[in-house]
Amino acid sequence: MTQEIGGFAALGLHPNILAALTAVGYEEPSPIQSQAIPVILAGHDMIGQAQTGTGKTAAFALPLLSKIDTAKREPQVLILAPTRELALQVATAFETYSKQMPGLNVVAVYGGAPMGPQLKAIRQGAQVIVATPGRLVDHLRRDEKVLSTIQHLVLDEADEMLKLGFMDDLEVIFEAMPESRQSVLFSATLPHSIRAIAEKHLREPQHIKIAAKTQTVSRIEQAHLMIHADQKTNAVLRLLEVEDFDALIAFVRTKQATLDLASALEAKGYKAAALNGDIAQNQRERVIESLKDGRLDIVVATDVAARGIDVPRITHVFNVDMPYDPESYVHRIGRTGRAGRDGRALLLVTPRERRMLQVIERVTGQKVGEVKLPNAQQVLDARIKKLTNSLAPLVADAEASHGDLLDRLTTDIGCSPRALAAALLKKATNGQALDLATVEREQPLVPGAGGAPRERRERDGERSDRGGERGEFRERRAPVPLTEGRVRCRTALGTRDGIAAKNLLGAILNEGGLAREAIGRIQIRETFSLVELPEDGLDRLLGKLKDTRVAGKALKLRRYRED
């Protein structure tokens, strides 16, 4: 393991943190991480001057996670962020880095979401609180002791916090925490107001300054597509219809996602394979060799599994899941555009990932333009073009070599040459739709493809509130009527956990002992899933499923009571 994670092992991080870093493919610490981690681990207060995109989230998350006592069910670390989007991003990073730390809980606290569940999570012992100042002050008004056990404080993007007018809120928060805490401040700039905060609230802070490096990737055309999380597979399939690629690598975040997407691609006739950390080295080498010699055209990989892939025929990179940081994005798209060839990189962006897209553009110094999902006419044109290109080289000598056979077949079958040609085309295209009406029926409606009504429905509940914080993104959809005798149950597992409907179905069938027809509609969302189960004997069934795990995570299925 030490060899795999390179320089991180020498920084004194907890072994479980090192294991999580290996899982997400981190190899070497960035400059801000190399300098900040030892300082924070040693317990010093610190001022870090670094731009977004330099790896600063890991610079404070990794050492603070190493210092947390998971046996203590109380808040120990507080991260203050200026916006809801950044708070969610930082909370996700903490969850990712702590995957090997059982008993570690993170709560994101921000405006636009109900206060009750947030306060309940804090009182139940979440060790890490990631909060926007305005909403945290609201919680302090309800319970002034919420922060009484905080041992470590981080102000992330402090200059942005002051621009949004949070100075008074910050003073209230400082007063609510123990004076003995460790305080770390990150800011891209250090105006007088930030220096005043440091002088007043930090104790002999060490100062670290990192200059952001502009990263550019030449010969690679970059674009992004706005998409809802549960439509990613459909979007990839439709994009592949119109993209003229030789070989392609698609990046996802989880091992299960590599298997699911590769399986969906194979089902559509693509020569695809999964590449993840569970695949043995000899099999990995075979996959890469197959990609090089043309036996494979698409590899679906995690960041860690894609290390060292250098295949000149890769013309496209699909970022199906957003990378964890801009550096990973640059490494990913660098898999194409090699050997003097042009490359194309597409990034699928969900609504809550807009901010990371902006960070990527700022760090790389390049605009990632938006494209729309191809419509039915574009898909049809692409299919006909591919068919034309495949048949054109065969026409020149076809009549000389197969003319006699054509005459015999038309005579034996009793049909015209036109009818026979049409039958052969139908066989050659394997039943693929080649008329506009049929293509339109098979194309799902997704955001960004003229699907504004659907997009508005899926973003219902997104709203602004005071303090510059953005409302919570809610995955609300029109309720689906229940079949009589069934109830809807909920699990906190969703697409972000690598969950597909077949995973839930298999787990419930195997562990619950139900017949397939007893299970109704399964709805997979980004952060949760809904399953229809028989109302009769539900408590007994949920008891059977209480220890069930799906994709390595606890199912925790419970009855869902709709608002």
> 399-434, pLDDT tens digit by residue?
888 888 989 999 999 999 899 888 888 887 776 777
Residue 363's pLDDT is 78
DSSP letters of 516-538?
Answer: GGG---EEE-SS-EEEEEESTTH
Tell me the pLDDT tens digit for each residue of 155-197: 998 888 887 788 889 999 999 999 999 999 998 888 888 888 9
Query: 137 with 173: CB under 8 angstroms?
Result: yes
β-bridge pairing 549-550 and 553-554: antiparallel
pLDDT recorded at residue 449:
38
Residues of the chain with pLDDT under 50: 1-5, 214, 445-478
Q: Residue 300's pLDDT is what?
A: 95
- Whether CATH 3.40.50.300 fits 2-209: yes
Q: Which fold has domain 220-375?
A: Rossmann fold (3.40.50)
Q: How far apart are CA 459 and CA 330, in angstroms?
A: 30
Q: Where are the domains of the chain?
A: 2-209, 220-375, 377-442, 486-559
Residue 147, helix vs strand vs coil: coil
Alpha carbons within 13 angstroms on the beta-carbon side of residue 533 total 25
Q: What is the pLDDT of residue 4?
A: 43
* pLDDT at residue 306, as a whole number: 77
| 486-559: CATH, from 3.30.450.40, 3.30.70.330, 3.30.160.20, 3.60.40.10 | 3.30.70.330
pLDDT of 431 reads 66
Residue 184: strand pairing partners: 46, 154
109 phi and psi, to 5 degrees? -120, 115
d(CA 304, CA 308): 10
Q: How much is the CA Rg of the chain, to the nearest whole Å? A: 27
Percent pLDDT > 90 in the chain is 34
2-209 and 220-375: identical CATH topology: yes
Task: Map tokens 């957003």 to a residue.
Answer: 322
Joined together, the tokens standing for residue 37 give: 């981690």
Which pLDDT value is given to residue 258?
92
Q: Which residue bears the tokens 């008993």?
A: 103
Please give the pLDDT value at position 462. 34
Q: What does 67-102 look like in DSSP terms, one character per residue?
A: H--TTS-S--EEEE-SSHHHHHHHHHHHHHHTTT-T
Burial class (CB in 10 A: 0-12, 13-18, 19+), 285: exposed
What pLDDT sits at residue 218?
A: 61
